[in-house]
Amino acid sequence: MLLTTSIAGQAIAQQPAQKESVPAEVINPLAFLMKFTVENDYSPSLWNSRGEENEVQGEIVIPSEAFAKQNLARIKIFFATSSPDGTHGLSQSQVVDLILFQRHWGTFGVGATAQLTAQTSDRLGTVAPGPALGAVVERGKWRYGFLNQNFSSDTVAETELQPILAYEFNDKWSAELGDIQYVYDWKKDRVTSIPISAQLNRMLLGEKQSVQLSFKAEYNLKNVAGQTMWTLTAGITLIPKQ
């Protein structure tokens, strides 16, 4: 009996953690999942400024394994299509690479990030690297945590904090905060962005590829002249079969 109990205990201990479903992985920013996302951000109102602006964001998430560790790389590109002053084009891009550590409560990640700003007529482009840190707790259908990125250069010194909160209703519908960033500017010594938002997702599962459609409404509580007040975002995410 003691031997049987010992063998059963070892079998339970060696059993791998249950893999998340695709809908659950998509709403987890630290999930070991390849995906491609395109979003259109339309801001009909700006703080203390007339006009509106529109921006397109492209993101690719690439998982890989190296030295028996899971790595997750994310590349984001921001392209301004319209603005009050008439400027448009590539505004900036971000690259982050995290080494993932699986725990019984969820996923922990640590690595490096960099922000690249494009050159304009009145300023040079910059590269601002820094450390990155994130964690996501998995509790049933809930996912919550944070992703912190830090950028530092001669002209840029910012800390971005993305709060993570998501709930999977079923294999078709989910809700989350979306990719929002609380930003602290160390050179200005103040917070420059405090967004609140709600995002609804619709998952379309396929044999070779799944698709997630999303819509987000965001409001920036921080009154900074020229920055967005309201933003409406429509997005599509492609998830190839793993």
Question: Measured in whole angstroms, how far is the alpha carbon of residue 112 from the centre of its chain?
Answer: 15
Segment 214-236 mean pLDDT: 95
Q: Is 80 exceeded by the pLDDT of residue 6? A: no
Amino acid letter at 5?
A: T
Q: Do the beta carbons of residue 205 and residue 212 sit within 8 Å?
A: no
Question: Cα Rg for the chain, rounded, in angstroms?
Answer: 20
Whole-angstrom distance, CA of residue 100 vs CA of residue 143: 16
pLDDT digits (tens, 9 = 90+) for 62-84: 999 988 899 999 999 999 999 88
Q: Is 70 exceeded by the pLDDT of residue 110? A: yes
Q: Is 90 exceeded by the pLDDT of residue 118? A: no
Q: 20-240 in CATH: which number?
A: 2.40.160.40
Q: For the chain, what is the mean pLDDT?
A: 89
- Specify the pLDDT at position 85: 79
Amino acid letter at 125?
A: G
- Specify the pLDDT at position 19: 65
Indicate the pLDDT class of residue 2, thresholds 50, 70 and 90.
very low
Q: Is 90 exceeded by the pLDDT of residue 20? A: no
pTM of the full predicted structure?
A: 0.86
Segment 181-191 mean pLDDT: 95
For 21, the token pair is 């479903």
Q: Is 80 exceeded by the pLDDT of residue 184? A: yes
Indicate the pLDDT class of residue 195, thresholds 50, 70 and 90.
very high
- Specify the pLDDT at position 136: 97
The DSSP secondary structure of the chain, one letter per residue, reads -HHHHHHHHHHHHHSPPPPPPHHHHHT-TTSS--EEEEEEEEEEEETTB-S-EEEEEEEEEEEEEETTEEEEEEEEEEEEEE-TT---EEEEEEEEEEEEEEETTEEEEEEEEEEEEPP-SSS--EEEEEEEEEEEEEETTEEEEEEEEEEESSS-EEEEEEEEEEEE-SSSEEEE--S--EEEETTTTEEEE-EEEEEEEEEE--SSEEEEEEEEEEEE-S--TTSEEEEEEEEEEEEE--
Amino acid letter at 93?
A: S
- Specify the pLDDT at position 120: 56
Q: Which of 6-10, 111-115, 193-197 has the lowest mean pLDDT?
A: 6-10
